[in-house]
């Protein structure tokens, strides 16, 4: 910035009070002229205000430290580009707030992505039969099936309930448990299954499942 522009601003500032906005403006002008002390004093005074502004947007401590530091670094980097030093305070507060918004938004988006990824990984690595939807469907079908079994005659209910417990039922054991001749177990089981099949076929809800 040329001297003919700096001087009127500096003169105007000298006639104003000692507010923080004026202190920030004077620090900018002094820094351009090679005097660092006013900016150091401004850092001491303004950092708590910037910190509070950033933290109020929902950032954590580490995020707030980074944002406040970047605001000061940006100010020093672009200090010669500031057209109106009296707007420095407002610029810093707005910059800090917007940076905090962006940081918080990125953090939330990342948390959502991470959560979705974890759910997706859990879904992909969980056996299909153990997934919640599969378990729910299987439970529903089992309940419906045993509902039809319970409607069968007592002889069929006992026989099917017993042979369903093992993959290869021992007919001798079944015969002893039910007081049924071994030779009649197979045919009786077949007739009971046929009745169950007919009952399930007639059930529209089972046909749709």
Tokens of 102: 């962006």
Tokens of 15: 């006639």
pTM higher than the cut 0.85: no
Segment 149-196, tens digit of pLDDT? 788 888 887 777 777 655 566 777 677 767 788 888 888 888 888 888
| Contact indicator for 203, 149 with CB cutoff of 8 Å | no
Which of 154, 164, 147, 160 is closest to 199 using CA atoms?
Answer: 147
Segment 63-107, tens digit of pLDDT? 899 999 999 999 999 888 888 888 898 889 889 999 998 888 887
Segment 121-157, tens digit of pLDDT? 554 455 554 444 444 445 566 677 777 778 888 888 7
Q: How far apart are CA 205 and CA 197, in angstroms?
A: 14
pLDDT at 150: 80
């Amino acid at each position: 910035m040329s001297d003919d522009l700096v001087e009127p601003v500096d003169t105007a500032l000298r006639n104003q009070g000692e507010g923080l906005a004026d202190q920030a403006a004077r620090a900018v002008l002094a820094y351009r002229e090679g005097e660092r002390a006013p900016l150091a004093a401004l850092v001491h005074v303004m950092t708590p205000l910037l910190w509070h502004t950033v933290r109020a947007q929902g950032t954590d401590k580490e995020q707030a430290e980074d944002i406040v530091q970047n605001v000061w670094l940006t100010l020093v980097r672009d200090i010669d580009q500031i057209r109106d030093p009296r707007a420095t305070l407002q610029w810093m507060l707005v910059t800090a707030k917007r940076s905090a918004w962006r940081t918080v938004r990125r953090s939330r988006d990342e948390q959502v992505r991470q959560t979705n990824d974890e759910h997706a990984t859990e879904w992909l690595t969980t056996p299909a039969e153990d997934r919640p939807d599969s378990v729910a469907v299987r439970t529903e079908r089992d309940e419906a099936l045993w509902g039809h079994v319970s409607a069968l005659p007592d002889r069929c209910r006992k026989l099917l309930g017993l042979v369903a417990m093992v993959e290869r039922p021992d007919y001798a054991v079944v015969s002893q448990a039910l007081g049924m001749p071994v030779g009649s177990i197979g045919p009786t089981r077949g007739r009971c299954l046929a009745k169950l099949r007919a009952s399930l076929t007639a059930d529209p809800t089972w046909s749709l499942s």
